[in-house]
C-alpha cells in the first residue's frame, strides 16, 4: 500500500515535543500511515523522542525544511550560505536519527525572495546553487537520505518554479541523494500540463505533496486528479503522498503561506476529507 502522510503544519507551527506526539497520535487514529515533521528551527523538537513516537505508532516519517528569511544558498554573503548549509545538514541529521529517508523543501533561497534575472544572471545563480548544494548532497548520501528540492510558484521564488527548471538546475547532482519534491499546489499554478511535468521528472522524484488547489482538502478542488495519478504511475513513482496544508491560527505561518481564510470547517476535517479522497482514489486504481 502507498503511504499517505500528513504534515503537522496542518495543525500547528512551530512544532515541539508535546505537539509532535499529540498530532502524530491524532494522525495515526485518523488512518494516516506517514507524517511530515518540519524542522523550522534546530532544537524545536527532539529527534530521538520523535523516533520513539513514530515507531510506536507505525508511522513512516519524513522531514521537511523551511527556508525562513536569512536562509539562502545563492546570491548571498558567504556566511549566510554556510549557515544555510549547516541548517540543511542538521535537517539531514534529524532525518537519519528519525529513520526518515527524505528531507524535502525549497532549498534554494528564502521563501518569498524574488528578483529579476537575465539569462546570464540565471546561469550564474544556478552555478552557485550547484556549488552550495554539493556538500549538502554528499552529507545526505553518507547517511542514505534523499534531498527533495521543491519548485515553488512565482510568488514565492524566482529561481525554480517548474519541473523543467528544477531538472536543469540540479542536473549534475541528480541521483539517489538528490531529486525533486513535487507539490500539487505549485504544479497547478506553474505547469502548462501537470501530467507532462510529472512524467518529465521520471526517475528524479524524491517526494510528492498534495492538497487542494486552494491549499484546502485534496479532492475539494478542480485538479484533474486522475491525470495526476496517471502521471505518477507513468513516472514510476511509488513513494508516499503527503498532505501539506497550513493552519491559519499562527500569524507567521498564515502570512508565509497566505492563509487568509479558513480552508475547511476545521483542520481535522481538512485532513480527514483529504485522507478519505486519497484512499478512495487509490483504491479505485488498485493502489490501496
> CA of 286: how far to CAs of 89, 241, 243, 267, 282, in Å?
38, 16, 20, 28, 6
Report the C-alpha gap between 137 and 90 in whole angstroms. 13
pLDDT, mean of residues 165-181: 98
Per-residue model confidence as pLDDT tens digits over 28-48 = 999 999 999 999 999 999 999
What pLDDT does 258 receive? 86
For residue 282, which phi and psi values (nearest 5 degrees)?
-65, -40
Mean pLDDT of 169-198: 98
What pLDDT does residue 85 have?
98
The pLDDT score that the predictor gives to residue 252 is 78
Q: What is the mean pLDDT of residues 201-228?
A: 97
CA distance 69 to 72: 8
What pLDDT shows up at residue 283? Answer: 94
Rounded to whole angstroms, how far apart are CA atoms 168 and 110? 20
Provide the domain limits for residue 200.
4-284
Task: List Cα–Cα distances, 287 to 10, 102, 220, 233, 278, in angstroms.
Answer: 25, 22, 21, 10, 10
Predicted pLDDT at 145: 98
Read off the pLDDT of residues 235-283 as tens digits, 9 standing for 90 and up.
999 999 999 999 888 787 778 788 888 889 999 999 999 999 999 999 9
The CATH number linked to 23 is 3.20.20.150
pLDDT (tens digit per residue) in 60-98: 999 999 999 999 999 999 999 999 999 999 999 999 999
Query: What are the beta bridge partners of residue 260?
Result: none
pLDDT, tens digit (0-9, with 9 covering 90-100), for 90-145? 999 999 999 999 999 999 999 999 999 999 999 999 999 999 999 999 999 999 99
Q: Which of 80, 85, 156 is nearest to 115 (CA)?
A: 156
Which pLDDT band, with edges at 50, 70 and 90, does 288 fall under?
low
Say how many domains are in the chain.
1
Amino acid at each position: 500500500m502507498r503511504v499517505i502522510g500528513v504534515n503537522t503544519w496542518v495543525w500547528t507551527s512551530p512544532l515541539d515535543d508535546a505537539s509532535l506526539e499529540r498530532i502524530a497520535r491524532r494522525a495515526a487514529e485518523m488512518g494516516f500511515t506517514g507524517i511530515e515533521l518540519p524542522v523550522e528551527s534546530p532544537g524545536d523538537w527532539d529527534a530521538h523522542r520523535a523516533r520513539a513516537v513514530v515507531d510506536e505508532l507505525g508511522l513512516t516519517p519524513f522531514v521537511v525544511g523551511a527556508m525562513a528569511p536569512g536562509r539562502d544558498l545563492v546570491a548571498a554573503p558567504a556566511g549566510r550560505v554556510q549557515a544555510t548549509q549547516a541548517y540543511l545538514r542538521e535537517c539531514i541529521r534529524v532525518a537519519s536519527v528519525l529513520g526518515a529517508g527524505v528531507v524535502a523543501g525549497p532549498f534554494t533561497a528564502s521563501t518569498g525572495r524574488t528578483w529579476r534575472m537575465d539569462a546570464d544572471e540565471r546561469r550564474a545563480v544556478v552555478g552557485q546553487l550547484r556549488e552550495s548544494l554539493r556538500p549538502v548532497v554528499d552529507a545526505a548520501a553518507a547517511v542514505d537520505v534523499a534531498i527533495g528540492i521543491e519548485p515553488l510558484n512565482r510568488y514565492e521564488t524566482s529561481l525554480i518554479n517548474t519541473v523543467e527548471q528544477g531538472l536543469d538546475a540540479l542536473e549534475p547532482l541528480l541521483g539517489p541523494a538528490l531529486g525533486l519534491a513535487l507539490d500539487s499546489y505549485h504544479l497547478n499554478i506553474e505547469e502548462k500540463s501537470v501530467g507532462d511535468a510529472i512524467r518529465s521528472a521520471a526517475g528524479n522524484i524524491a517526494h510528492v505533496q498534495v492538497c487542494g488547489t486552494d491549499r484546502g482538502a485534496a479532492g475539494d478542488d478542480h485538479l484533474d486528479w486522475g491525470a495526476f495519478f496517471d502521471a505518477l504511475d507513468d513516472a514510476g513513482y511509488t513513494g508516499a503522498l503527503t498532505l501539506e496544508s497550513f493552519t491559519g491560527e499562527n500569524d507567521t505561518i498564515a502570512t508565509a503561506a497566505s492563509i487568509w481564510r479558513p480552508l475547511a470547517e476545521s483542520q481535522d476535517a481538512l485532513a480527514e476529507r483529504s485522507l478519505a479522497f486519497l484512499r478512495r482514489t487509490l483504491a479505485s486504481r488498485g493502489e490501496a
